[in-house]
Amino acid sequence: MAYQSIDELQTLLSQEVFGDRLDSKKAAGRALGTFIETIIFYLLRQWDENDSVAIERPLAEYGHEEITHNVEFTLHPIRAKYPVFEIPANTPTTARKVADKIQLPISFSLTSNKVINKGIIQNACVIGTDKHSIAIATPDKITSNNTIMHAYILDKHAYAMIECKRVGKEGDAKGPQTIEKAKQGAYVAKTTSSLQKVRNDQGGLDGIYYVNGEAYVGPYDQLLNDIIFNGKPQQLRDFTLSIGVVSNHGNWFTANNQNKEMKVLAQSYDWLLFLTDEGLAEFITDLLRSPLPKFKAVRDAFIASYPPAGGPKIDNAFTKKKMEQSAHFALDDYFAENLSRIEKWFNVISPNGGTLHDLKRILVTLKNKDWRAIL
């Protein structure tokens, strides 16, 4: 790593970008959290999950649909895809324009979202919803005259959810809300899938799920794999794989040096990934501190999103949800060119012995299920 620690990089960001803030290091820490979410979104695009991902959608608790939780990312079955189409550039690409272009069914209630507005893309932009579905549009290419994009309809059921957790740190002091964030993540992971975790009297984890009122119990890992790879429709219908991504120097520690918070998350999520200091440092160095010319748009979008304190308020164009259009395509290129290296940024905390390749295989398996027959 080019720097001794993420703490050193956070200090550099606080000086170079947020130097005029009253609490410049805290502002830089919030930006680090944004980087983690950005990394996950553009990694999912490279994993061929682009047309399955939704951002900050409500995820219902199993058996209590009136209680929902907004999570960073959810992956959904694809109900329909529309052919590629064009919309004239240089004007806001509204949900209404897209709906009219693809002739979205009248059962959908349109949103007020804009897929592209003033050069900013809304990633996984929801243009409409109905009782069972989410309609989303995403740009493929932007020219001087046209925006080339496609749209698709997702089922509201999520076959996987992904949450990112990071807690700030000042020097050697632990962030005060570390355990609270761990508890929040653990609660959502444990309550949003039909396959539930139960601690047995030997200290191990059993799983339990119900079919027509009848309970099925067994070792959790065994049931999890059986549902993913051999599951019947009634097993998959309300199943949601839970994936957590954590990152922080000294708060969450590492795969081999887990503190209480990491242990809470590791036994709550089906998969828990740790984004290493080295990985986060490479992202910051490659794209924000010393970018190649072809990736400079990423740095420009980041800097422009944080104007000097007291200056005019602008729309942040560097988040998982909104990204300046040149930076968006530059990020796609960076992740495509460096995918194998980027995948090495992650340690698998749980399950024991799991690899990133295993997780990718699971997501492909779930994506390719015959969801029309299941749902």
List the domain boundaries for the chain: 6-51+160-277+342-374, 78-155, 279-327
What percentage of the chain's residues is helix, strand, coil (to nearest 5)? 35, 30, 35
Per the CB < 8 A criterion, the answer to whether 183 and 264 are in contact is: yes
Residue 6 exposure: Cα atoms within 13 Å on the Cβ side: 29
pLDDT at 294: 97
Residue 25 has φ and ψ, to the nearest 5°, of: -70, -35
| Cα-based torsion angle of the residue sequence 95, 129, 192, 342 in order, rounded to the nearest 10 degrees | -30
Per the CB < 8 A criterion, the answer to whether 306 and 17 are in contact is: yes
Here the tokens at position 184 are 């929040």
Q: Which residue ranges in the chain fall short of pLDDT 50?
A: 1-4, 170-172, 176
Per the CB < 8 A criterion, the answer to whether 153 and 133 are in contact is: yes
Name 303's Cβ contacts closer than 8 Å, sequence gap at least 6.
Answer: 17
Here the tokens at position 283 are 């992202």
Q: Counting beta carbons within 10 angstroms of the beta carbon of residue 226, is it exposed (0 to 12), middle (13 to 18) or buried (19 or more)? A: middle
pLDDT at 172: 46
- Chain-centre distance of CA 202, in angstroms? 35
pLDDT at 287: 92
pLDDT at 157: 96
Antiparallel, parallel or unpaired: β 64-75 and 160-165: antiparallel
What is this structure's pTM? 0.92
